[in-house]
Structure 1
């Protein structure tokens, strides 16, 4: 697609910018760098304002048949190499700038940035177009808060307050619309994994973050998981706890539960034994089967040579209720050094697995949370109990230094 020639002024600007970038010497003094950043951003903001004015005019005159894209925002996203959100903001700023003279002047004087002007414009546009607004938009109040604000996040909240004060009916309608957009798509992958793709409204997102972030914190000084993995594990741990405590609605008059099918050879970890099968997931390793069997309800099934079931034994809990209660009182929670998970968030681990002759009694049991139980089985860590009863954990290989924790900030 071909476009018209650039104006002489724009060509001169392009030449000046190219010359400045090619010839500018980097600042050595940190104070000079800071001053340079401020001045450059002021120039960029002025250019952004001019771009917004053109973007608004372009959007008003946009013809899909002429340009090919379904909207001016889509066209700008593709040809101006910007996000759709940035394109929407640019058009909004350009449309509202004539009625926001004080805010535009503040941007030109470098008292606010384009991001602040974008929020002011969006708030003014939202209140102005609504038929349910009970008051008009007051630029002066928001501009004063923008100039005084040291946090852009806080200023965004101030704009939301202004919208609600002027038009709480429309504010609620938009909030309800966001709730209707909430979705969670679960797609099973060929390896048995589950892909999650979704969106939560503001309240739903706050609930999920509030629930997951404490569980996603490092559980001990030797927690090597990256933050994304800890968040994923936290979701699994939250669901596991809900299943273990029976807070999930029953299905077919039974508590919701995971179902693992395996063989005695797999539990004993014999060479050549098949893997286990986990409902909804497919095949899982023997080490995972053994971890799940540490503290589970076991049902014995006998099959003939054609895999037809010939006998079903009585389901029995590996760690009986009385033993588990005593274990909870003694350990009080996960015994991994530094871990603070309480007893209700743990499983009973057999130091010597019961299928290898390990007794299901207090001397052979220890409470471990999901993550540390996994480390002992699949992660090949070793745990041992000192004479004073404390537990020590030993990694399979030397550990490198942990990176900084984003969730600890």
Structure 2
């Protein structure tokens, strides 16, 4: 297929998908109105969709609600059935049919069918952003002097932990709260960029979000619960900790996730460690004194010597950094100024994944990739050119 034919195929498939979604929505709406779910002994179409099609409960609820909304939006429904708009367009336009919005429209004599037709036209012929702007403009004109909604009602954060321990976070915020979060995340993301950084913007912000959590925990600003200072914890057998061949589920974390011994060693570089003696039935019978691996006096020296992350090209400040043992203490490395260095969370992980940082005879730090090549964030071949010198 030529590029033109391929793009035409993609456009046709999107339209066909929209038409199928519209037929499904219509069928569910008719079944919902007729209580067809009672045929299988169920009370709602939402529960029928969940139990008979395997659909997620949230998706089933959205599908049922979409069908009910389209009863009020015939023009949007027609564009949907024709394949000109998709589910996301219907969902956006449906915000004008909230109980409060419908009451305000009726009170002001607004012809909802005209608004529906106008928005369907925008949805079918312009970008999604233009549709969002049109919907928001209508809602703002509908209630220009009404009371401001409670912003806390527009905020939601859901944390889902998957079987492998990974976490999905979904956040919805009002405009002001969103600005506050972006005002923190964006500068942190920008300062974490280094030479040769191949992360996507989403990955950069994800790392910045974790760094935000690190900074908050380090500052001690999280409320204490059940007499313990909040933090992350990992429990691992000492033999597994020192065995480089240990598998992926060697350590168990506080919220139930499991991590590898290598990841546990990464955490243990700069942490508080306590010995726990387990009985034969798996019940703890003794706990030793907690010991800070990198004591405060040494940490102060590291802050003064390194001034931040030592990884080539990184300018993360000391307060963003963890202390790394160049030879891990689990393998006999000493916790001394010579055997430790400061690295941000991301680059600390790089060191545990094969990268190396060494100090040369001249006192400068050098960073090497796993293949042995050095990472140079500058052009050393240009340093001797007089025409590039900047007068002071």
User: Normalising to structure 2: TM-score of the pair?
Assistant: 0.63
Q: 2:205 matched to which residue of 1?
A: 231
In structure 1, C-alpha distance between the alignment counterparts of 2:273 and 2:364, rounded to whole Å: 30
Runs of 4+, deviation exceeding 6 Å: 63-66, 88-93, 113-118
Q: Which residue of 2 aligns with 1:303?
A: 278
1:266-277 equivalences in 2 (<5 Å): 266-272=240-246, 275-277=250-252
Q: Say how many residue pairs are matched.
A: 284
CA distance in 1, matches of 2:203, 2:347: 14
Q: Hey, what does 2:153 align to over in structure 1?
A: 180
Q: Tell me which of 47, 69, 83 is aligned to 1:71.
A: 69
| Distance in 1, Cα, partners of 2:131 & 2:284 | 71
Q: Deviations over 1:223-279 (max 9, x none)?
A: 222221121121111111111221111112221011110122222124457611112
Distance 1:89 1:77, change over 3 A: farther
1:342 counterpart = 2:349 = no
CA distance in 1, matches of 2:302, 2:139: 62
Does structure 2 conserve the Cα–Cα contact (< 8 Å) formed by 1:92 and 1:122?
no
The Cα of 1:115 is off from its aligned counterpart by 8.4
Kindly provide the CA deviation profile for residues 369-405 of structure 1, in whole angstroms up to 9, marking residues without a partner as x: 000001111x321221112222222222599xxxxxx
User: Are 1:380 and 2:380 matched, yes or no?
Assistant: no
- In structure 1, the residue corresponding to 2:148 is in which secondary structure? helix
Q: Which residue of 2 aligns with 1:213?
A: 186
Distance 2:170 2:112 in 1: 30
The residue matched to 1:295 in structure 2 has which SS?
Answer: coil
Cα pair distance change 1:94/1:343, threshold 3 Å: same
Structure 2: gaps (5+ residues)? 6-29, 35-65, 97-110, 119-126, 374-392
**Distance change >3 Å, CA 372–CA 281, structure 1 → 2:** farther
CA deviation profile, 1:286-316 (whole Å, cap 9, x unmatched):
1111110001000011223333323211101
Q: Which residue of 1 aligns with 2:43?
A: none
Does the aligned pair in 2 maintain the 1:352–1:358 contact within 8 Å? yes
Equivalent residue for 1:189, pick from 162, 166, 182: 162
Q: Retained in 2: the 8 A contact 1:335–1:367?
A: yes
Q: How does 1:77-156 map to 2 (within 5 A)?
A: 78-81=80-83, 82=85, 83-84=89-90, 87=93, 94-95=114-115, 123=137, 126-127=140-141, 129-130=142-143
SS at match of 1:322: helix
Structure 2 residue corresponding to 1:258, chosen from 232, 238, 257: 232
1:219 positional shift: 3.0
Q: Is the 8 A contact 2:69 2:94 kept in 1?
A: no
Q: State the Cα distance separating 1:92 from its structure 2 match.
A: 7.0
Q: Contact 1:184/1:197 (CA < 8 Å) preserved in 2?
A: yes
Preserved contact between residue 80 and residue 90 of structure 2 (Cα < 8 Å): no
Equivalent residues of 2:244, 2:262 under 8 A apart: no
Shift of the 207–65 alpha-carbon distance from structure 1 to 2, 3 Å rule, reads same
- Check the 8 A contact 2:270/2:293 in 1, yes or no: yes
Q: Distance in 2 between matches of 1:385 and 1:319?
A: 20
- What is the rounded CA distance, in whole Å, between the counterparts of 1:307 and 1:97 in structure 2? 67
Structure 1 stretch displaced more, 388-397 or 233-242? 388-397
Give the superposed CA RMSD: 3.7
Distance of aligned partners of 1:77 and 1:353 in 2 relative to their CA distance in 1, 3 Å threshold = farther
Q: Distance in 2 between matches of 1:248 and 1:223?
A: 32
1:289 matches 2:287: no
Deviation, structure 1 residue 117: 10
- CA 1:202–1:390 in structure 2 vs 1: closer, same or farther (change >3 Å)? same
Greater gyration radius = 1
Consecutive unaligned residues in structure 1, runs of 5 or more: 1-20, 23-62, 99-112, 131-162, 400-409
1:92-142: per-residue Cα shift (whole Å, max 9, x none)? 7944999xxxxxxxxxxxxxx998899689647744x44xxxxxxxxxxxx
Q: Work out whether residues 322 and 342 of structure 2, in 8 Å CA contact, stay in contact via their aligned partners in 1.
A: yes
CA drift of 1:324 comes to 0.7
